[in-house]
A and B are shown apart, each in its own frame.
Chain A
């Protein structure tokens, strides 16, 4: 295995001969690895229940509610009730206009 130590001497370094090989994993050690899982679980502390606060509607909220309700009402009026609106258009054709003008003069 290549083993270069940059805290060592510069230039060519001879490979470091290992004195001991890493110890193989024993069955006991495997159980040691799993230690964090076997730790006793802490009992979860009960959190004190928070009191529900009474909701107060602010002026802004009331205004926006009324405003949106008014818009909805107008939309309904436009599409549903406008049929009942009667448009009276009085129109004078050119000859009728002449008659009308003479009648007013006389």
Chain B
């Protein structure tokens, strides 16, 4: 199989062999995409050519021409949000409401967008939480065509947030801070299910959320819990706090002051790496989405 991630201008991928539910990673690679690919026009007819350039070289560079492709794309490609809906509504009513709401939000882009929904496992709140993913029809079609033309089978496509969530989720309430270039992403879990995510910022040692989608009540509770932790406190927080990668800038001070309460995650820890294979990896934490796709394959 081939697990491909495109996030923040980087293309990262893993080639792995799967047999009897066991997965052996043969190669891991990362290449920086040129600036033309950072913010592609997803509704342009030229997208097919652009994707062809991205994928063809990568597929040709692989040692074995594999068939299955699992793909993870960032928010430049897939708009992923978590919205609340009333609990009393039926599934059809929920979908009708969300379509009505998204139609107003997207305006003229609505007729050319593909929309996907999934209800998140309840977290005891008085509302249901629905994850929505929106991708332009043209982009979805182009991805399918390019991967099939390259001789592969497109099996799975998801936003990078879900790939990361699969890699870092636990069984309990938790928050995970993830390095993303010079910024940080935060994913909030309840009962092992993602309920919110966004971009946190840190000022004078105080953590707050710059952008957020999902259960804001959960987020504000968790963030205030984190800010209340004193460096020398002996009390352990009721939520588990994790981080992945070397967090940049002011976050370094945050990690060092609260390291007693933080757990570091290495996304590649649970995989077997093939013998005699060169693994071209500078920072394993950059392969969070790729690891999430590999987990998806063996689920």
Instruction: Indicate, yes or no, whether A interacts with B.
Output: yes
* B131 at interface by CB-CB < 8 Å: yes
Contacts of B55 in A (CB 8 A): none
Chain A proximity mask over B122-137: 1 for CB below 8 Å, otherwise 0 = 0000000001010100
- Whether the Cβ atoms of A23 and B21 lie closer than 8 Å is yes
Of chain A, the residue at the smallest CB distance from B140 is A6
Contacts of A6 in B (CB 8 A): 78, 114, 116, 133, 135, 140, 157-159
Contacts of B133 in A (CB 8 A): 4, 6
* A68 at interface by CB-CB < 8 Å: no
* A15 at interface by CB-CB < 8 Å: yes
* A78 at interface by CB-CB < 8 Å: no
Q: How many cross-chain pairs have Cβ atoms below 8 Å apart between A and B?
A: 97
Contacts of B165 in A (CB 8 A): 1-2
Contacts of A1 in B (CB 8 A): 165-166, 169, 192-194
Query: How many interface residues does B have (CB within 8 Å)?
Result: 45
A11 CB to nearest chain B CB (Å): 6
Chain A proximity mask over B110-153: 1 for CB below 8 Å, otherwise 0 = 00001111111100000000010101000010001000000000
Complex Cα–Cα for A15 and B165 (A): 15
Complex Cα–Cα for A19 and B298 (A): 9
- Whether the Cβ atoms of B21 and A7 lie closer than 8 Å is no
- Whether the Cβ atoms of B158 and A12 lie closer than 8 Å is no
Stretch with Cβ within 8 A of A (4 or more), from B35-43, B56-64, B266-274: B266-274
- Whether the Cβ atoms of B271 and A20 lie closer than 8 Å is no
* Residue in contact with A10 in the complex, picked from B114, B156, B169, B273, CB distance below 8 Å: B114
Contacts of A18 in B (CB 8 A): 299
B290 CB to nearest chain A CB (Å): 14
* Residue in contact with A32 in the complex, picked from B119, B131, B193, B272, CB distance below 8 Å: B272
Kindly list the 8 A-B residue pairs having the minimum CB-CB distance in the complex, ordered from nearest: A18-B299, A6-B157, A7-B157, A12-B117, A32-B272, A25-B270, A4-B118, A2-B131
18 contacts between A and B (CB under 8 A): A1-B166, A2-B118, A4-B117, A6-B114, A6-B140, A7-B157, A10-B114, A10-B115, A18-B299, A20-B298, A22-B270, A23-B270, A29-B270, A32-B273, A33-B271, A35-B275, A36-B273, A39-B276
Interfacial residues, chain A to chain B (CB-CB below 8 A): 1-8, 10-16, 18-25, 29, 32-33, 35-36, 39
